[in-house]
Amino acid sequence: MVKHFLDLHEIDAADLRKMIDDGIKVKKARAGKPKGTKDDDKSLEGYTLAAIFEKPSTRTRVSFDMAMRQLGGDAMVLNSGDLQLGRGETVEDTAKVLSRFVDAIMIRTDAHSKLTELAKHATIPVINGLTNDSHPCQLMADVMTFEEHKGSIKNKIIAWSGDGNNMVTSWIHAAAKFDFEFRIACPEELNPDQRALDWAREVGANVHVTRSAEEAAVGADCLVTDTWVSMGDDAGDRHNLLAPFQIDEKLMEKAASDAIFMHCLPAHREEEATAAVMDGPQSVIFDEAENRLHAQKAVLRWCLNAAS
């Protein structure tokens, strides 16, 4: 059976745990090695990934490319303008053609339906590199980063402050799968996806929505946010709506004394978070960015049945 990595809520918790543990394992295997060297583990040797980008990217593009290279495989990075998909070819036909050429597809796109249509017709694994609805690869890196700094995420408190966007959806899914409390502080106008909230309620996930950043932050083990204006969004009145949800030093003080700060980047300093927080001792944002590489190695190995 083809194993797609589309959304966290569609994957067994045991498999997600194995991927986190595998990401930590492959990261440790590279510890101390100079840049430019491949991993001793060549588990992706002979495999080729087609990485499709219909949105700009730094971390997703570089991390997937390097993940394949370091594990002995190859990656073809394709912009939408490079493909007939950008000139009217159907997603179905693109999926069927690429399935004849490569071993897996990663796509970073807008409409989530494009991702699911690709997976429906592909005979090889399809990986969600980001859609307007969710960003599960980032969450794997985030969970991995949390556990490196704070131990098991189970029963911990994660507090989100800001826009109820696609990252929030994936955090909601993760809360159920990894069994932690997730508090969401956001304005009513930018509420999380109701489908995700309904799903969380159905499965008994410990997820709460509040209109107070301070209420969400009290005693939290991690404060997390994202840019206020995502790619393709109209800024509109977002800055005024979200100003009370900025993560600054005062908000960090409401969290646990050893709390960490996370942000998936790119960031707009002095908007969603202050520079003092982003560059402060509790910030783990660059560990988080690096862990995209290692977590995605684990995702790729799981999809391709290549994990040792």
Catalytic-residue membership of 61: no
Identify the active-site residue in 135, 173, 183, 263. 135
Q: How distant, in Å, are the alpha carbons of 56, 142, 188 from that of 136?
A: 17, 10, 24
Separation between Cα atoms, residue 19 and residue 295, nearest integer Å = 7
Catalytic-residue membership of 246: no
Catalytic-residue membership of 30: no
Separation between Cα atoms, residue 254 and residue 241, nearest integer Å = 21
Contact 254, 218 (CB under 8 A): yes
Residue 32 structure tokens: 């101390």
Report the DSSP beta bridge partners of residue 74.
Answer: 48
- For residue 121, which of 90, 86, 88, 82 has the smallest C-alpha distance? 90
Separation between Cα atoms, residue 145 and residue 306, nearest integer Å = 23
Q: Hunting for tokens 């391709």 — which residue is that? A: 304
Identify the active-site residue in 4, 9, 108, 173. 108
Residue 3 structure tokens: 């194993």
Identify the active-site residue in 9, 183, 292, 301. 292
Backbone angles phi, psi at 186, to 5 degrees: -155, 160
Catalytic-residue membership of 292: yes
Using DSSP, how many helices (H) and how many strands (E) does the chain show?
12, 9
User: Within 10 A of 22 (CB to CB), how many other CB atoms are there?
Assistant: 21
Identify the active-site residue in 4, 70, 226, 294. 226
Catalytic-residue membership of 108: yes
Catalytic-residue membership of 238: no
Identify the active-site residue in 4, 7, 61, 138. 138
Q: Which residues are catalytic?
A: 108, 135, 138, 226, 264, 292
